């Protein structure tokens, strides 16, 4: 199924049922009086987050979702049946906005979480409601109120603990293949990743985290160049960013430091909050550098970038260093969840 992370949908709640006009008709009860019941409530529309749905593609097919109308009231003070509520499944991680106002209605981040997006209309009053000492035979009733109608903007932001950053062909897809069961496309040309990929990385019994790979960024992405800018929003929920740098680019004239600086620049243009998130430097493709040059080349890149955070040297292709990287990530994620001052 094609990956779709943005969609538009119209939701219409059910109208309330009309109130009834009715009078009691029984033998030996000549003055039975009014007994028209109220109309039933209209059904409401809810969105429900559901595991196993990974895209908003279904909303490209069905664009309007309607709940059932309430039924009219009946005689003998019978209230009409309420309309059935409608529950629409969406992927976990869906952000819901009102298209007309721009208001964020909710953020569905947990499996089974439910969000009311259109409330059903109230049922109308039957004529029994209008009975009084001066109006013993009321013949008025009211129609049910219309249900709410909204046009929704749906945005899917993947839920992942760790996000991968880097230029095209930095080795992000190779890394996620090496450490998880995800199988993104890998090739020796740019932009092999056309949509985000998720992989679950296991580092031991009951110890795992989710890693997200997004299409590579290039300089000018904030102005619409390339593919990565559109998918940067999928990194907004991550707790840690891994900045992959290819230290052995195929073109000897290509400077890894210049490319890494361009990534940071585009990240800051997109979101200052995201740029300030914990970010580790991962120097990839060490298997392509002669052993006697490796240490000097890595030190030079870190020095020129003036990078102060954790630095790792790996080869996604051979797996060298990936185990140590994943263990360090797991430890960081566990420690970041602990209350301040709690011991290991």
Termini Cα distance of the chain: 43
Give tens-digit pLDDT for 166-196.
888 888 888 998 998 766 554 443 444 446 7
Measured distance CA(226)–CA(229) in Å, rounded: 7
Which of the residue ranges 184-188, 267-271, 315-319 has the most confident prediction, judged by mean pLDDT?
Answer: 315-319
- In the chain, % helix, strand, coil (3-state, to 5) comes to 25, 25, 50
Quick one: fold of 162-337?
Rossmann fold (3.40.50)
- Global pTM? 0.71
For 270, the enclosing helix (H) or strand (E) is helix 256-270
Same CATH fold, 162-337 and 6-156?
no
The β-bridge partners of 197 are 213
Return the domain boundaries, the chain: 6-156, 162-337
Q: How confident is the model at residue 229 (pLDDT cuts 50, 70, 90)?
A: low
User: Looking at the domain covering 6-156, what would its CATH class be?
Assistant: mainly beta
Measured distance CA(191)–CA(167) in Å, rounded: 9
Q: How confident is the model at residue 322 (pLDDT cuts 50, 70, 90)?
A: very high
The mean-pLDDT minimum among 140-149, 160-169, 226-235 falls in: 226-235
Q: How confident is the model at residue 273 (pLDDT cuts 50, 70, 90)?
A: confident
Q: If you average pLDDT over every residue of the chain, what do you get?
A: 86
Q: How confident is the model at residue 28 (pLDDT cuts 50, 70, 90)?
A: confident
pLDDT at 2 over 60: no
Q: In the 3-class helix/strand/coil scheme, how is 191-243 assigned residue by residue?
A: CCCCCCEEEEEEEECCEEEEEEECCCCCCCHHHCCCCHHHHHHHHCCCCEEEE
pLDDT at 17 over 50: yes
Higher-pLDDT residue of 131, 232: 131
Question: Would you say 149 and 118 are in contact if contact means Cβ atoms under 8 Å apart?
Answer: yes
Give tens-digit pLDDT for 70-106.
999 999 999 999 999 999 999 888 999 999 999 999 9
Residue recorded with tokens 């039933």: 40
For 116, the enclosing helix (H) or strand (E) is strand 114-118
Question: Would you say 6 and 56 are in contact if contact means Cβ atoms under 8 Å apart?
Answer: yes
pLDDT of residue 3: 55
pLDDT at 11 over 70: yes
Find the helix packing angle between 256-270 and 291-305, rounded to 10°: 40
């Amino acid at each position: 199924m094609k990956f779709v992370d943005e969609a538009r949908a119209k939701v219409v709640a059910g109208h309330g049922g009309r109130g009834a006009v009715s009078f009691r008709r029984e033998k030996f009860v000549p003055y039975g009086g009014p007994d028209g019941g109220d109309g039933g409530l209209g059904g409401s529309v809810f969105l429900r987050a559901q595991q196993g749905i990974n895209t908003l593609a279904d909303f490209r097919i069905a664009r309007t979702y309607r709940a059932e109308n309430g039924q009219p009231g009946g005689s003998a003070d019978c209230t009409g049946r309420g309309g059935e509520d409608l529950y629409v499944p969406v992927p976990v991680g869906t952000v819901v906005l009102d298209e007309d106002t721009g208001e964020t209605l909710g953020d569905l981040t947990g499996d089974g979480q439910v969000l009311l997006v259109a409330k059903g209309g109230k049922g109308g009053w039957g004529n029994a409601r209008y009975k009084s000492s001066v109006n013993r035979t009321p013949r008025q009733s009211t129609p049910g109120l219309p249900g709410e109608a909204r046009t929704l903007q749906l945005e899917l932001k993947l839920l992942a603990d760790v996000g991968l950053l880097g230029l095209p062909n930095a080795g992000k897809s190779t890394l996620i293949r090496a450490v998880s069961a995800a199988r993104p496309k890998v090739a020796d040309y740019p932009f092999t990743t056309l949509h985000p990929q998720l992989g679950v990385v296991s580092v031991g019994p009951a110890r795992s985290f989710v890693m997200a790979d997004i299409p590579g960024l290039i300089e000018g992405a904030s102005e619409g160049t390339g593919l990565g800018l559109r998918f940067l929003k999928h990194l907004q929920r991550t707790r840690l960013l891994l900045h992959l740098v290819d230290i052995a680019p195929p073109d000897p004239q290509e400077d890894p430091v210049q490319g890494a600086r361009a990534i940071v620049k585009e990240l800051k243009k997109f979101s200052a909050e995201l740029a300030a998130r914990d970010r580790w430097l991962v120097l990839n493709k060490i298997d392509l550098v002669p052993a006697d040059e490796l240490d000097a080349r890595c030190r030079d890149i870190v020095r020129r970038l003036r990078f102060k955070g954790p630095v790792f040297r790996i080869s996604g292709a051979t797996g060298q260093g990936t185990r140590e990287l994943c263990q360090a990530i797991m430890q960081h994620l566990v420690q970041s969840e602990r209350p301040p001052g709690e011991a290991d």
